[in-house]
Amino acid sequence: MKRLFSYLLPVVIAISAAACGRAEPELDMPAYEAEVLDWRAGRLERLLAPNGYLTQIGLQWLDEGTYTIGSEPGSDIVVPATGAARIGELRVGADEIWLVVEEGVEVLQNGERVSEVLMGVDTSDNPVTVTHGSLAWGMIERDGPVAIRIRDYEHPFVDTFGPLPYYEINPVYRVTAELLRYEQPRTVAVDTVIAGFQQFPVSPGIVAFELGGQRYELEPTISGDKLFFVFGDDTNRDETYGAGRFVYADMPGEDGRLVLDFNKSYSPPCAFNDFSTCPVASPRNRLPIRIEAGEKFDPNLHYSGAAAH
């Protein structure tokens, strides 16, 4: 059966608590729909922002050594034709990465022209981004290996992007859940779309909830003051992004209860380009049902070109 539920819901419903069976306050559907629509608007605004995921046009992993940067085809790191033929050199050392700019070429850091700059990686206390015309780049570090990530603030993909596709808002997928804490938070290994690279966030425990009278569990990780879920479900086969989706929830109170709202689940950055290092849903976080809520995947909203577009 394709859909989890086939019956119609009243406009105002009572959400039952999966953990202990206590009735929840009635949900004001007009207010709830407005809340979800506002969340969707913010989601699109963040994607379209200059430093959102849509301006990413290149990602190149680097070993120690010296790399030329420019738009000429022979460059080690090739940028779009809007960039200078030779912008400079990126010198990657064991502990430092320096950008040395070609004489006469304008490269800015914080609006100030530079001739050389120490390129702090994104995981450091002083991450650095430099710009050259509409182009920008910075260094990322993922458990040792480093890469240069290139953006184009005038990337034509941004101008043609949207709208994002969604399932209909369905309050059935706004569930009351319970966090079953581990005795001590655990560091977990999470695979990413980059072969061989893993992330190692911390999980506080297992979140249990019910859908359609069945109990399910997900293992979230801690992200600031939120719980972060990377989950998969059977819609990944045909309607949502294959590697899974993301959703956040507020930390629970002392009773361990929280609201997990799949209507606010969304696609990872890798759904829109090939230049992100997204986590993928682990086998234990793949639900054997269809979660027909939240953001869908549209392959027409994916940019897979090289930096030299």
Residue type for 187, please?
T
Lowest-confidence range among 16-25, 39-48, 175-184? 16-25
Q: Which residue has the higher pLDDT, 9 or 109?
A: 109
CA 99 to chain centroid, in Å, comes to: 28
CATH of 53-152, one of 2.20.28.10, 2.60.200.20, 3.20.20.10, 1.10.10.60: 2.60.200.20
- Examine the pLDDT at 20 and tell me if it is beyond 50: no
In DSSP terms, 108 is beta-bridged to 113, 131
pLDDT in the model for residue 1 = 41
pLDDT in the model for residue 242 = 96
pLDDT in the model for residue 143 = 81
pLDDT in the model for residue 24 = 63
- Examine the pLDDT at 22 and tell me if it is beyond 60: no
- Examine the pLDDT at 265 and tell me if it is beyond 80: yes
Angstrom distance (rounded) from CA 250 to CA 256:
11
Angstrom distance (rounded) from CA 93 to CA 75:
19
Tally of residues, the chain: 309
Q: Tell me the percentage of the chain whose pLDDT exceeds 90.
A: 85
Q: Are 148 and 60 in contact (CB under 8 A)?
A: yes
81 phi/psi in degrees, rounded to 5: -65, -15
- 140-172 pLDDT, tens digit per residue, is 998 889 999 999 999 999 999 999 999 999 999
Angstrom distance (rounded) from CA 13 to CA 256:
23
Domain locations along the chain: 14-19+164-300, 53-152
Nearest CA to 226 among 200, 202, 198?
202
pLDDT in the model for residue 263 = 98
Q: Which residue has the higher pLDDT, 163 or 11?
A: 163
- 215-244 pLDDT, tens digit per residue, is 999 999 999 999 999 999 999 999 999 999
- Examine the pLDDT at 6 and tell me if it is beyond 60: no
And the tokens for 305? 């070109």
Mean of pLDDT over the chain: 91
Angstrom distance (rounded) from CA 154 to CA 236:
32
DSSP state of 232: B
Q: Are 21 and 14 in contact (CB under 8 A)?
A: no
- 55-104 pLDDT, tens digit per residue, is 999 999 999 999 999 999 999 999 999 999 999 999 999 999 999 999 99
- 99-145 pLDDT, tens digit per residue, is 999 999 999 999 999 999 999 999 999 999 999 999 999 999 988 89
- 177-208 pLDDT, tens digit per residue, is 999 999 999 999 999 998 888 999 999 999 99
SS3 37: helix
Radius of gyration of the chain (CA): 22
